[in-house]
Chains A and B, each alone.
Chain A
């Protein structure tokens, strides 16, 4: 098991005018690791990725990839990396094969090597039979597969993935996740992934850096991050109350021991609570408001809870989550009141 660092980020800052998108971050990524940058939209994840992949210049600080400086030796860095952007990097009017051939030809590979590699990559993502079709005619899943293999043309040691499952259906998401794991397992590719999806981070990453407002607020394995909650006298409980009312929800939200109250369905509540008497207080509050508890469950903490615990706000801040209409009266979505 190699333990040497392939990426070293040193006090990296990126500003756009007066706005600090990335605020003095530092971290190392080990060779062969899957490293996740988790945080809400606008936290600075994508900017970090763009700076590391030489697409943007840092305002202060720098980083090395494979020992090369991302500013001074950008072309050496570019030979080592591949990037899967949130936007699909491909030309709709070119065929799958032409697209790969075009981007591959920018890496100065010998013709026979490139030809072979294009065929192999198309085979790898089961697009061989569509290789002569223009990618504009492809489905979203096919396009995302193309988007991923396009980044592999130079057999990169480090692969950056910016929200790779964004906008994909669950099945395509699973496929992409499996593909990333396989790539990491079989080729030893180091993978840096940004996401605001807890599932992605949880299922894929060896280590996760939680990013908020341009800063890394926590960085560890998923299991260790969750221990922050277990060790902090905090619990997550799920209540099923058949006669749940909005009054009751408000009462619970007003409780001191409740850090977060999220209504998950018409009868279900998810609570992040702290303190020895939290359970008693909650049960008392429910009874006092004529609520009937049909079931109560002690849940394992998720990364979402960790994020909430550390930053004081939720990750799912934008429209990536569909909120049932009847719940909208509670606000813009699952929210937390303190």
Chain B
């Protein structure tokens, strides 16, 4: 008898899910948007986010005020030749000669330049009298990101040139390795996994987690309130079925939609943006399902509180934005002020995207993401425990 009940419950659940998916697949425009939306998100965020490696052709002005030392400007000339030689390899800068510092400032203000290099008048003198040669970087404070990039790039160039000069100077010491004398430390960076992950590797897992979880958390209230509004909910409610199968069927439909969208993002990330998946793909989708579980309860609670579709939509926007920005989907949590980090730590999406990122980018297995798994399971269980009585009450008004 109990077995029969379960079987009918499942059968009704599947019917309702099938009905929802049939409706979804008949909605051509909706289907197109289902693919376009994550694509937009990937492209926008992925290409706009600045990374040091990809910066090139920054417009930089060069002012040579060097007055020379006993008619010799050798040090500044060497510097310029060296700078150009290095830049010819990296194409980081586009160097144009400018006559005065004031001109640089003017051109930065007009937006013609993004920064400048100034060789002061005593440059050769200092260098040739055994003192430090000073170089000045003029930066554009209105754009901190670019300013920082130029500074870092130029420091790198200056550092490399300084090393070469130092090596020449210590040559008479007859050391076997002059580089070891001037630069005793050789710093190398090694990632946890091989390869060179881009920003896409960082955001793809986050966007996947977000899309799939949003589908149950916000798709469910919208789908159910829509049926209430057009009246079709009554058609199901007046049938002798377990009320649970309505919410289960709807959840199943929304989950399938979410996973489909997740799969689209996954394929786009791998195929179009060259994201390498280090961990198990099975675990990736397992995690997405766990994320759905974690959010179903919350979705049902929201459903119970939203009377019409408009409210549901607004609720969705209100919840989506903080979630999007505070869960470390687009920006690293470490960048945020402490209070935002605190909020971030209570959002389940943070854990879902973190776990997914560990698996996809770092190739982590279940033991490495056990904390995240526990948080998601506990959160899901607690929300469902709250949701079931709330939902019962809503259905029997």
Contacts and interface: CB of A to CB of B under 8 A. Distances in A.
Contacts of B237: 54-55
Interface stretch (A74-82, A189-197, A206-214): A74-82
Contact of B23 (A53, A54, A94, A106): A94
A103 B227 CA distance: 14
Contact of B22 (A55, A56, A98): A98
A85 interface: yes
A57 B396 contact: yes
B239 interface: yes
Contacts of B22: 93-94, 98
Interface stretch (B46-54, B126-134, B138-146, B228-236): B228-236
Contacts, number: 68
Name the 5 nearest CB pairs between A and B, nearest first: A87-B231, A106-B239, A89-B235, A78-B240, A93-B26
Q: Taking chain B's interface residues, is the majority helix, strand, or loop, or is none over half, making it mixed?
A: helix
Q: For chain B, which range describes its interface: under 10, 10 to 19, 20 to 34, or 35 or more residues?
A: 20 to 34
Nearest to B239: A106
Contacts of B236: 103, 106
Given A87-B234, A93-B23, A106-B241, 8 more contacts: A53-B238, A54-B238, A57-B397, A89-B232, A91-B232, A98-B22, A103-B239, A108-B8
Nearest to A90: B232
Contacts of B19: 91, 94, 98, 102
A91 B19 CA distance: 9
Given A91-B23, A102-B19, A78 B396 contact: no
B194 interface: no
Contacts of A311: none
Most buried by A among B8, B26, B238: B238
A89 B234 contact: yes
A55 B23 contact: no
B15 interface: yes
Nearest to A87: B231
B12 interface: yes
Interface string B259-303: 000000000000000000000000000000000000000000000
Q: Taking chain A's interface residues, is the majority helix, strand, or loop, or is none over half, making it mixed?
A: loop
Contacts of A103: 235-236, 239
B247 to A, nearest CB: 14
Interface in A125-180: 134, 150, 154
Contacts of B397: 56-57
Contact of B27 (A82, A93, A106): A93
Interface residues of A, number: 31
B313 to A, nearest CB: 19
Contact of A105 (B15, B234, B240): B15
Interface string B305-344: 0000000000000000000000000000000000000000
A261 interface: no
A83 B239 CA distance: 10
Contact of B231 (A75, A78, A82, A88): A88
B239 A150 contact: no
Contact of A78 (B15, B23, B26, B239): B239
Interface in B210-269: 230-232, 234-241
Contacts of B231: 85-89
A187 B237 CA distance: 25
Interface of B: 8, 11-12, 15, 19, 22-23, 26-27, 230-232, 234-241, 396-397
A88 B233 CA distance: 11
Contacts of B240: 75-76, 78-79, 106-108
A134 B236 CA distance: 19
A269 to B, nearest CB: 41
Nearest to A16: B397
Interface string A47-82: 000000111110000000000000000011011011
Most buried by A among B236, B239, B396: B239
A152 to B, nearest CB: 13
Contacts of B235: 85, 89-90, 103, 150
Contacts of A54: 237-238
Contacts of A102: 15, 19
21 contacts: A54-B237, A55-B234, A55-B237, A75-B240, A78-B240, A82-B238, A83-B234, A89-B231, A89-B235, A91-B19, A93-B26, A93-B27, A94-B19, A94-B22, A98-B19, A102-B15, A102-B19, A103-B239, A108-B8, A150-B235, A154-B239
A106 B12 contact: yes
Contacts of A55: 234, 237-238
A53 B237 CA distance: 10
A103 B241 CA distance: 11
Nearest to B18: A102
Nearest to A78: B240
A98 B8 CA distance: 19
Contacts of A56: 397
A98 B22 CA distance: 10
A190 B240 CA distance: 19
Contacts of A91: 19, 23, 232
Interface in A203-225: none
A93 B31 CA distance: 14
A56 B26 CA distance: 32
Contacts of B232: 89-91
A53 B19 CA distance: 24
Contacts of A106: 12, 15, 236, 239-241
A16 B237 CA distance: 20
Contacts of A87: 230-231, 234
B220 to A, nearest CB: 17
B225 to A, nearest CB: 14
A62 B216 CA distance: 37
Contacts of A75: 240
